[in-house]
Chain A
Amino acid sequence: ETGVTQSPTHLIKTRGQQVTLRCSSQSGHNTVSWYQQALGQGPQFIFQYYREEENGRGNFPPRFSGLQFPNYSSELNVNALELDDSALYLCASSLGSGEAFFGQGTRLTVV
């Protein structure tokens, strides 16, 4: 158990819809990063939040957006879902630049 909780664990959406994924960071951690892991691939960085500000973004289109709240929990929003968005979405929390611990992930399937 890492203390990082993600919800929901599984989700099925239709192409074109919007989705919101949630992450509760480990107690005391102020940095949250989101990753997308397609089948057979390593996790790919989407973006990172530190103290409610986005401070890094990977090569993902603007329809991927996020938020971090004062309690350091976070949301990942994806608009206009595409079939290729089907993946395991991982949230990782850390204390600044310390070791990052992952939640259990959300498996998103777009049909």
Chain B
Amino acid sequence: QKEVEQNSGPLSVPEGAIASLNCTYSDRGSQSFFWYRQYSGKSPELIMFIYSNGDKEDGRFTAQLNKASQYVSLLIRDSQPSDSATYLCAVRKGGYSTLTFGKGTMLLVSP
């Protein structure tokens, strides 16, 4: 079982729709959770982080965390073609420990 799993996609949504990206993790010691966006050929860009169960909203983005189910999701409302990218889920156990990434989900938003 991989530590962080994501559906590789592509996930295709029309412009203006809600895109839902999902991530599961195996280590119950994971304490913090991150979503990065990565455009082709570029480096990952931090867009959201969440530490507590529940929802966290930032503009068009909402991160959801359910530690009991070991599940993290990212919702993107009013999706735009510029949101087309690979979205990486990453988890961290805490302290100065490092990030463990999933393989990423490719999102395609069509005009």
Contact = CB atoms under 8 A, between A and B. Distances in A.
B11 to A, nearest CB: 16
For the side of the interface on B, what is the size category?
Answer: 20 to 34
Contact of B103 (A33, A42, A55, A102): A42
A104 B96 contact: no
Nearest to B92: A97
For the side of the interface on A, what is the size category?
Answer: 20 to 34
A40 B105 CA distance: 10
A55 B46 CA distance: 23
B10 interface: no
A56 B42 contact: no
A56 B43 contact: no
A2 B24 CA distance: 28
B88 interface: yes
Interface string B65-105: 00000000000000000000000101010111111111110
18 contacts: A35-B99, A35-B101, A41-B103, A43-B88, A43-B99, A43-B101, A45-B98, A45-B99, A50-B96, A56-B96, A56-B97, A92-B99, A97-B94, A97-B95, A97-B96, A102-B43, A102-B45, A105-B42
